[in-house]
C-alpha cells in the first residue's frame, strides 16, 4: 500500500496509517470475541467477525449523493473467498467512480431479476386471484381461473408482466373473436386488465399497457337471458310435472322458481341455512354474488318442497345433493340442462326463472324495493345502498306468499311438487 502524506504543525511530512492487506491464514485464525470486531483489507473492504463466530464481508463507503457512510454486505466467508471479496470491492468502487450507489445498483438488479423470473404473468395472476376470490362466489372464481387456464396461460404464463404488450394480447384474443365468442373476449379483456392494474399497483410495472384494448374488438350484442312471459307459467309447470326427471331435479327447479334465487344459490342450499321455526332461509354472504347475507321468507309451498327432500337428503349437508357424489351439491347447471331437455332451449334458462318472477310481480304492482330485495339486487345508487341496509324481510312475506300461491295456481291440474303436497293435505281433511 502507498502512504498518504500530511504535514505537521511545523511543516514536516508525517506518515498516515497504513492498512495491511489480509491473508487467508489471518482470516482463518481469527477468533470471535465478546463483541463483534472488524479486520480491514483496504479500499473499504472489511471482514466483520461476530461473537457467534460468523465472518461477513462488508464494503464501507460514502454515498455519492449524501456523502453519508454506508455498508454493503458482500457475503459470508468462506462462501465468498478473499479474492472474490476484493473483486466485488473493486466493482463497487468502479460504480462509485461513476457516481452510482452500489446499494441502489443492487436493488435495481434484484428488481430486474424479479421482473423476469418472479413477476411472470402466471405468478402475478395467482397473487391477484388470491385477493379477487374473496370478493366473488366460489363458482365465479372457478369460472375466472378456468378461463385463464384455457385461453391465456398456455401462451404467456412465463412471460414477465413487464414484457407484456397490447399488440401481443390483441393477437392472442383475435382467434377467439374470429370464432364469434365476443363475450369471452370481453371477459378476458376485463380480467387481463384487472391483473395488469394489480401489477401496476404492486410496483411490478410502471403502467398498465392493456388499457383500452377492448377498442380492438367487436362489442358483443347485449342479450337478455331467455325467459318466459308471465302468461307462459302454466306451460312451464305442466312441463315440469310431466318431465322424465329425477325428483331432486324437479324439486330444485321449483325451489329456484319459488325462492327467486340464482342457480348456484339454489343448488347449494344447505339444511343448516334453513330455520324451520322462523320460516327463514339465510344464504351466507360467501355464497352470494353481491357478498351480502340474503334472508328469504319461506312460504308453505317452499316448506312443502323441503318436506319432499327430507327423506332424500335430510341426513346430508346439502338439500339438493349431487347424484354422483351425495356429499356435494347438485351442479348449478342441473336445472338448466333439465329445462333444455324439457323443450325450453332458446326460450328459458334457469336464471330466467328470476326474470319471470320479477316481471310478474312488477306487473302486479308490488313495491319495486321489495322485488329488488327478493332478487338480492344491490341499489345502483351507491350512497342509498350504503345507508339502506334493510332487507324488508317481513314486508316481503306477503309478496312471496302471493308468488308461491300464483305458481300453485298455474300448476292446477299438474302434478308439481307443491300441488301434490297440497292434495295430500286436502285428502287428510
pLDDT tens digits for range 153-206: 999 999 999 999 999 999 999 999 999 899 999 999 999 999 999 999 999 899
Point out which residues pair with 92 in neighbouring strands. Answer: none
Residue 277 pLDDT level (bands cut at 50, 70, 90): very high
pLDDT tops 50 at residue 425: no
Provide the whole-model pTM: 0.57
Q: Which of 61, 354, 392, 396 is catalytic?
A: 354
> Do 373 and 302 lie in a common domain?
yes
The string of pLDDT tens digits covering residues 107-126 is: 888 877 666 668 899 999 99
What is residue 424's predicted lDDT score, i.e. its pLDDT? 39
Residue 248 pLDDT level (bands cut at 50, 70, 90): very high
Contact in structure between 168 and 130 (CB atoms under 8 Å):
no
The CATH number linked to 177 is 1.10.150.130
> Which residue in 199, 208, 206, 210 sits closest to 131, CA to CA?
199
Q: What are the strands, taking DSSP E only, across 197-316?
A: 274-275, 280-283, 294-297
Segment 218-231 shows an average pLDDT of 80
What is residue 3's predicted lDDT score, i.e. its pLDDT? 39
pLDDT tops 90 at residue 15: no
> Do 211 and 236 lie in a common domain?
no
- Sole residue written with cell 327467486: 260
**Residue 68 belongs to some domain of the structure:** yes
Tell me which of 191, 216, 241 is where a domain ends: 216
SS3 per-residue string spanning 37-104:
EEEEEECCEEEEECCCCCEEEEEEEECCCCCCEEEEEEEEECCCCHHHHHHHHHHHHHHHHCCCCHHH
Q: Which of 119, 262, 287, 396 is catalytic?
A: 262
> Which residue in 341, 321, 275, 332 sits closest to 302, CA to CA?
275
The string of pLDDT tens digits covering residues 349-359 is: 888 899 999 99
Return the C-alpha cell found at 404. 308461491
Q: Which of 218, 229, 387, 424 is catalytic?
A: 387
What is residue 17's predicted lDDT score, i.e. its pLDDT? 55
Q: What is the DSSP letter of 276?
A: T
Distance of CA 398 to the CA centre of its chain: 38
**Residue 423 belongs to some domain of the structure:** no
Contact in structure between 140 and 120 (CB atoms under 8 Å):
no
**Residue 428 belongs to some domain of the structure:** no
What is residue 31's predicted lDDT score, i.e. its pLDDT? 93
Residue 5 pLDDT level (bands cut at 50, 70, 90): very low
> Which residue in 213, 173, 211, 195 sits closest to 119, CA to CA?
195
**Residue 207 belongs to some domain of the structure:** yes
Residue 413 pLDDT level (bands cut at 50, 70, 90): low
The domain of 252 spans 230-412
What is residue 418's predicted lDDT score, i.e. its pLDDT? 58
The CATH number linked to 81 is 3.30.160.390
> Do 239 and 385 lie in a common domain?
yes
> Do 279 and 387 lie in a common domain?
yes
What is residue 348's predicted lDDT score, i.e. its pLDDT? 84
The CATH number linked to 293 is 1.10.443.10
> Do 236 and 330 lie in a common domain?
yes
Q: Which residue has the higher pLDDT, 148 or 116?
A: 148
> Do 53 and 92 lie in a common domain?
yes
> Do 299 and 283 lie in a common domain?
yes
β-strand pairing of 280-283 with 274-275: antiparallel
Tell me which of 156, 189, 216 is where a domain ends: 216
Range with the lowest mean pLDDT among 2-11, 293-302, 378-387, 410-419? 2-11
What is residue 233's predicted lDDT score, i.e. its pLDDT? 92
Give the CA distances from residue 299 to residues 154, 219, 234, 262, in Å, rounded to whole numbers and listed in that order: 50, 43, 20, 18
**Residue 222 belongs to some domain of the structure:** no
**Residue 297 belongs to some domain of the structure:** yes
Q: Which of 133, 214, 295, 351 is catalytic?
A: 351
**Residue 238 belongs to some domain of the structure:** yes
Q: How far apart are CA 323 and CA 337, in angstroms?
A: 14
> Do 392 and 293 lie in a common domain?
yes
Contact in structure between 256 and 296 (CB atoms under 8 Å):
no
What is residue 428's predicted lDDT score, i.e. its pLDDT? 34
> Which residue in 13, 80, 7 sits closest to 41, CA to CA?
80
Number of structural domains in the chain: 3
Residue 117 designated active-site: no
- Sole residue written with cell 381461473: 145
Distance of CA 217 to the CA centre of its chain: 25
Angle at 303 between CA 298 and CA 304, to 5 degrees: 145
The string of pLDDT tens digits covering residues 35-83 is: 999 999 999 999 999 999 999 999 999 999 888 999 999 999 999 999 9
Give first-to-last CA distance, the chain, whole Å: 114
Residue 61 designated active-site: no
pLDDT tops 50 at residue 404: yes
Angle at 85 between CA 81 and CA 88, to 5 degrees: 140
Q: Which of 377, 395, 397, 421 is catalytic?
A: 377
Q: Which of 289, 291, 328, 406 is catalytic?
A: 289
> Do 97 and 241 lie in a common domain?
no
H/E stretch holding 13: strand 13-15
**Residue 427 belongs to some domain of the structure:** no
The string of pLDDT tens digits covering residues 299-347 is: 999 999 999 999 999 999 999 999 899 999 999 889 989 999 998 888 8
> Do 198 and 165 lie in a common domain?
yes
Helix (H, G, I), strand (E, B) or coil at 290: coil
Residue 6 designated active-site: no
Segment 264-271 shows an average pLDDT of 93
> Do 389 and 285 lie in a common domain?
yes
Give me the DSSP letters along 362-421. Answer: HHTT--HHHHHHHTTPPPSSHHHHHH-----HHHHHHHHHHHHHHHHHHTTTS--HHHHH
For CA atoms 20, 24, 25, 29, the dihedral sign is: positive
Alpha helices per DSSP H over 134-232:
138-151, 153-156, 166-178, 182-201
Longest Cα–Cα distance in the chain: 128
**What average pLDDT does the chain have?**
86
Tell me which of 164, 188, 216 is where a domain ends: 216
> Do 178 and 235 lie in a common domain?
no
Residue 140 designated active-site: no
Amino acid at each position: 500500500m502507498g502512504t498518504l502524506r500530511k504535514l505537521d504543525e511545523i511543516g514536516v511530512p508525517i506518515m498516515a496509517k497504513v492498512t495491511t492487506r489480509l491473508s487467508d491464514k489471518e482470516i482463518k485464525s481469527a477468533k470471535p470475541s465478546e463483541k463483534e470486531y472488524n479486520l480491514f483489507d483496504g479500499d473499504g473492504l472489511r471482514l466483520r467477525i461476530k461473537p457467534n463466530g460468523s465472518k461477513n464481508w462488508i464494503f464501507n463507503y460514502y454515498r455519492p449523493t449524501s456523502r453519508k457512510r454506508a455498508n454493503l454486505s458482500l457475503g459470508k466467508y468462506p462462501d465468498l473467498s478473499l479474492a472474490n471479496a476484493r473483486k466485488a470491492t473493486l466493482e463497487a468502487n468502479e460504480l462509485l467512480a461513476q457516481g452510482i450507489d452500489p446499494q441502489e445498483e443492487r436493488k435495481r438488479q434484484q428488481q430486474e431479476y424479479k421482473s423476469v423470473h418472479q413477476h411472470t404473468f402466471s405468478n402475478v395472476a395467482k397473487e391477484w386471484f388470491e385477493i379477487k376470490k374473496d370478493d366473488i362466489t366460489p363458482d365465479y372464481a372457478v369460472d375466472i381461473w378456468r378461463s385463464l387456464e384455457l385461453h391465456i396461460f398456455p401462451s404467456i404464463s412465463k412471460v414477465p408482466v413487464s414484457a407484456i404488450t397490447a399488440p401481443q394480447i390483441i393477437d392472442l384474443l383475435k382467434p377467439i373473436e374470429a370464432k364469434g365468442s365476443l363475450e369471452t373476449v370481453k371477459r378476458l379483456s376485463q380480467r387481463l386488465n384487472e391483473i395488469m392494474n394489480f401489477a401496476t399497483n404492486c410496483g411490478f410495472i410502471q403502467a398498465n399497457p392493456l388499457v383500452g384494448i377492448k377498442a380492438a374488438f367487436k362489442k358483443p350484442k347485449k342479450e337478455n337471458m331467455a325467459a318466459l312471459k308471465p302468461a307462459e307459467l302454466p306451460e312451464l309447470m305442466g312441463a315440469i310435472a310431466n318431465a322424465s326427471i329425477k325428483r331432486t331435479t324437479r324439486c330444485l327447479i321449483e325451489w329456484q322458481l319459488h325462492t327467486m334465487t340464482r342457480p348456484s344459490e339454489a343448488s347449494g342450499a344447505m339444511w343448516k341455512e334453513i330455520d324451520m321455526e322462523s320460516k327463514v332461509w339465510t344464504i351466507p354472504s360467501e355464497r352470494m354474488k353481491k357478498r351480502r347475507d340474503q334472508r328469504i321468507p319461506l312460504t308453505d309451498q317452499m316448506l312443502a318442497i323441503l318436506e319432499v327432500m327430507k327423506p332424500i337428503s335430510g341426513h346430508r349437508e346439502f338439500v339438493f345433493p349431487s347424484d354422483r357424489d351425495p356429499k356435494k351439491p347438485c351442479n348449478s347447471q342441473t336445472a338448466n340442462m333439465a329445462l333444455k331437455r324439457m323443450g325450453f332451449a332458446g326460450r328459458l334458462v334457469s336464471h330466467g326463472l328470476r326474470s319471470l318472477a320479477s316481471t310478474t310481480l312488477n306487473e302486479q304492482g308490488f313495491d319495486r324495493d321489495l322485488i329488488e330485495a327478493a332478487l338480492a339486487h344491490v341499489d345502483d345508487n351507491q350512497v342509498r345502498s350504503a345507508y339502506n341496509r334493510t332487507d324488508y324481510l317481513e314486508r316481503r312475506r306477503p309478496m312471496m306468499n302471493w308468488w308461491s300461491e300464483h305458481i300453485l295456481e298455474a300448476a292446477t291440474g299438474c302434478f308439481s311438487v307443491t300441488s301434490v303436497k297440497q292434495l295430500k293435505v286436502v285428502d287428510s281433511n
